[in-house]
Amino acid sequence: MSKGTEQQTDRSNGKVIKKLVLVVFAMFGFGFALVPLYDVFCDITGLNGKTNDVAVAYKNDGIDTTRTVKVQFITRMAKGIPWQFEPVINEILVHPGEVKFVNFYAKNKSKRDIIGKAVPSVSPGIAGGYFQKIECFCFTHQPLKAGEEVEMGLQFYVDIDLPSEINTLTLSYTLYEISAKVDS
């Protein structure tokens, strides 16, 4: 191979390597951007069952007494959290636009103080944007001393614009221990 051909091949290989390095950095950057982009997508479309994570003011657009929606409550605990956590009632009937208040029971069954955090999700996912929490224990951390028990409140309404084909919503809370994150 001549010296000129060798130099041309080296330059060509250098360009390919630079392009590949740029692709790797672009993919790495996209990986970091994917989570916030997904959150924005879910906020816009109402997918993923996300509900508001801060209190909303009651938007009084009236109450649709011609419709009844069943709201079911489900709880679960992340692995390793020694609490009892359950809804006081398992379901309630509501008219869209009507404000309701329900309680959840929690008891720390361990011999140590624990801080918990409840993360909500609504099913079907599209209904997440229509389930409005006015006040919720999920907005704050829930510290319970060893053996302590408490009832925690949820005040909510189902938006009057809930699509008519949705007659049942399931609000699910998963309880996580966050003691180590809060203490540090």
Percent of the chain with pLDDT over 70: 83
104 & 34 share domain: no
93 & 162 share domain: yes
34 & 119 share domain: no
Residues spanned by the domain of 161: 49-183
The answer, yes or no, to whether residue 135 has pLDDT greater than 70, is yes
> For position 51, what pLDDT does the model report?
67
Q: Which of 115, 177, 183, 174 is nearest to 145 (CA)?
A: 115
60 & 116 share domain: yes
The answer, yes or no, to whether residue 49 has pLDDT greater than 60, is no
26 & 94 share domain: no
Average pLDDT rounded to a whole number, residues 82-107: 97
> For position 6, what pLDDT does the model report?
73
Q: Which of 158, 156, 132 is nearest to 63 (CA)?
A: 158
67 & 147 share domain: yes
124 & 165 share domain: yes
> For position 93, what pLDDT does the model report?
98
- Kindly tell me the burial class for residue 122, based on how many C-beta atoms sit within 10 Å of its own C-beta (0-12, 13-18, 19 or more): buried
pLDDT digit string (tens) for 1-33? Answer: 666 677 777 777 888 888 888 888 778 777 766
Domain count along the chain = 2
Ramachandran category for residue 46: left, alpha or beta (phi over 0 → left; psi -120 to 50 → alpha): left
Please answer whether residues 141 and 115 qualify as being in contact, where contact means their C-beta atoms are separated by less than 8 angstroms. Answer: yes
84 & 37 share domain: no
88 & 170 share domain: yes
> For position 12, what pLDDT does the model report?
79
pLDDT digit string (tens) for 153-181? Answer: 999 999 999 999 999 999 999 999 998 87
> For position 134, what pLDDT does the model report?
94
119 & 156 share domain: yes
* Beta bridge partners of residue 77, listed in sequence order: 175
